[in-house]
Amino acid sequence: MTLPNHHAQAIIDRVLQGRSREDAVQRLSPRLPVTEPLPERLKSFTDHSVVALHKRRELLASLGICTTQLAGEGPEIEPEQLAGNIENQVGMARIPVGVVGPLRVNGSAAHGDFYVPMATTEGALVASYHRGAMLVSQAGGATAICLTEILTRAPVFQFESVRDVGLFLAWLLPEFPQLQAIVGQTTAHGKLRDVQTSIVGKEVFLLFEYTTGDASGQNMVTVATQALCQWIVENSPVVPQHWFIDGNMSGDKKATVQAFSYARGKKVVAESVLPALLVRRILNTTPEQIVRYAALSAIGGIQSGSIGVQGHYANGLAAVFLACGQDVACVSEAAVGLTRMDITKEGDLYVSVSVPNLICGTVGGGTSMPTAKECLTMLGCAGAGHARKLAEIFAALLLCGEISITGAMAAGEFAAAHQKHGRKSTAGGGNPS
């Protein structure tokens, strides 16, 4: 996952954000509860009574977090409001939302204690992430940094010969400032940052790289690329025989080695150092056993041909994407990455996650839905100016999930946890799994 020098400098600038180096280091350092107490933790997560449900809502309300829409007490969504979000509407899907937290994040954009909403029907999932969040927060929090922001679209042009491809590129590449200006006419928020080329015989793929502001940007870059292609075809001295707006090279909604090796969406890293005493108390195992399992898991992942090696990014991403109005299909590409575990010289557990393809936004798409808006507001991420903050919270959440699932595997408790939390009672009308 190497980066050109100018990208590396942009990362440094993004992390500092005008702060001094000392201030940036302090912002990204652990904040231990002994010196900065955590807010109240959501308790009784195995209590499914009406009383417990209301207590959880009351706790969030006492912290200024509104759950009116999530509780089904808000106004109905009129069908007209859903234009642009759904076709052939017949109703609304009801998916339960649980909350993990508090999760302490010490990020370059996200800095605070967060209650993270997760929409899922998979028993044991929220409990696992909740446990991981408790461990991470007790240890001082997760350091998280959004490193890069790139969204791609890759049109393909077909010519009569490779010679024509060369003539085409010789004309096109110096026109990059004009391409940027055309993009600026289609969006006030997106910018064209670079274009890469791939020649395959008489075809050439153009990989346009955009930044998309606070939107996830899938529609934005599609509209911009359409405008670019039309201008190119109308002005090129060598007219292509055929062209298509995407030649399936961008990696849109699929896991690709290209995106994993570089980035698509937001690339975010998160890490935490977990004291051995806390690991033993909360996970019922040791740092040594966890690292031993992680090493064997990596070998298994390599043998399976996994793009990256991680435990279950898709679990956390699907749940938080559903809750926060993200494009859930993007989980297919966002759920790749690397989970890293090691033992420090003090004998504590070091854990990090590197997520290179995290596509998320705080404006546009499904973020305007009432429940999604409420969940984004819960995170302090509703509206413009918060996309990088949201990405860092998501990465910190994935860190919690990796810690908890690996701890369960190492302690031999994985099956028991699903037996306890993931099986429906026949008395409650469900079927045992």
Q: Say what the pLDDT of residue 148 is.
A: 87
- What confidence tens digit (pLDDT) does each residue in 6-52 have? 666 676 777 777 778 888 888 889 999 999 999 999 887 778 899 99
Give the closest residue to 216 by CA, choosing from 137, 302, 107, 325: 325
Q: What percent of the chain has pLDDT over 70?
A: 93
Residues 119/96, Cβ–Cβ less than 8 Å: yes
Question: pTM for the complete prediction?
Answer: 0.91
Task: Considering the chain, tell me which residue range(s) the CATH 3.30.70.420 domain(s) occupy.
Answer: 155-244
Q: Residue 187: is its pLDDT beyond 50?
A: yes
Those residues with Cβ within 8 angstroms of residue 281's Cβ, 6 or more apart along the chain or in another chain: none
- What confidence tens digit (pLDDT) does each residue in 304-345 have? 999 999 999 999 999 999 999 999 999 999 999 999 999 999
Q: Residue 261: is its pLDDT beyond 90?
A: no
**CATH fold of 5-67+94-148+262-424, please?**
3.90.770
CATH number of 155-244: 3.30.70.420
Q: Say what the pLDDT of residue 50 is.
A: 92
Residue numbers annotated as active site: 122, 327, 418
Q: Say what the pLDDT of residue 431 is.
A: 39
- What confidence tens digit (pLDDT) does each residue in 406-431 have? 999 999 876 666 656 666 665 444 43
What rounded mean pLDDT belongs to the chain? 91
- What confidence tens digit (pLDDT) does each residue in 204-217 have? 999 999 999 999 98
Q: How many CA atoms lie within 13 A of 185 on its CB side?
A: 11
- What confidence tens digit (pLDDT) does each residue in 121-157 have? 998 899 999 999 999 999 999 999 999 888 999 999 9
Q: Say what the pLDDT of residue 7 is.
A: 64
Which of 249-258, 266-275, 373-382 is least confident?
A: 249-258
Task: Considering the chain, tell me which residue range(s) the CATH 3.90.770.10 domain(s) occupy.
Answer: 5-67+94-148+262-424
Q: What percent of the chain has pLDDT over 90?
A: 76
- What confidence tens digit (pLDDT) does each residue in 322-332 have? 999 999 999 99
